[in-house]
């Protein structure tokens, strides 16, 4: 839109849209068919899309990658973090250099209220993980593919959680 700002050496792909108040930093690539909502911020060197939806007031940190068919709603994704494929990340704070596997969902609405998901720095969220908010995943923590992390769970720093419902994986033991 006319009220969006586009930094130096940045590009907005074909059929992409930046709404009022969007701030796009320098050296940013926004792929085709992306939607950047009101007051969204895209940090320097970030890449977005194609077909990504960055809803209002979401923040994509410097050097972060938000790939194809990712939706961010009220979410901040930290510097250098990656969410590459087909995920919904709502009401979440994602730490620097975290990796969000394909098909991850932050289930932020319980039918009455919305809740936050916190994901720490360098965390690794396995493909197909569902994080039923409120949930906290610590720095360097890991969730296994397909894990269902239920509300009010805290995955501690460096811990690995797997299964349905997700539980802590003890070192050297199968779940």
Catalytic residues: 85
Strand-strand pairing, 160-162 and 167-168: antiparallel
Separation CA 87–CA 77 (nearest Å): 13
Separation CA 23–CA 83 (nearest Å): 20
Separation CA 149–CA 156 (nearest Å): 13
Strand-strand pairing, 11-12 and 53-54: unpaired
Burial call 30-43: b when 16+ CB within 10 Å, e when fewer: bbebbbbbebbbbb
Strand-strand pairing, 53-54 and 41-42: unpaired
Six-digit token pair at 85? 């494929």
Count CA atoms within 13 Å of residue 172 on its CB side. 0
Six-digit token pair at 155? 């995955």
């Amino acid at each position: 839109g006319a009220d969006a700002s586009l930094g130096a050496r940045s590009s907005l792909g074909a059929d992409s849209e930046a709404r009022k108040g969007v701030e796009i930093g320098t050296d940013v690539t926004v792929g085709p068919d992306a939607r950047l909502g009101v007051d969204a911020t895209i940090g320097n060197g970030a890449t977005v899309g194609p077909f990504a939806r960055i809803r209002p007031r979401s923040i994509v940190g410097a050097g972060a990658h938000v790939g194809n068919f990712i939706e961010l709603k009220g979410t901040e994704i930290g510097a250098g973090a990656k969410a590459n494929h087909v995920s919904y990340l709502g009401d979440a704070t994602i730490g620097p250099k975290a990796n969000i596997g394909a098909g991850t969902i932050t289930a932020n609405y319980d039918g009455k209220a919305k809740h936050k998901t916190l994901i720490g720095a360098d965390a690794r969220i396995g493909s197909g993980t569902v994080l039923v908010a409120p949930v906290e995943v610590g720095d360097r923590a890991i969730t296994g593919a397909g894990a269902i992390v239920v509300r009010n769970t805290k995955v501690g720093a460096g811990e690995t959680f797997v299964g349905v419902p997700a539980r802590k994986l003890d070192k050297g033991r199968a779940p």
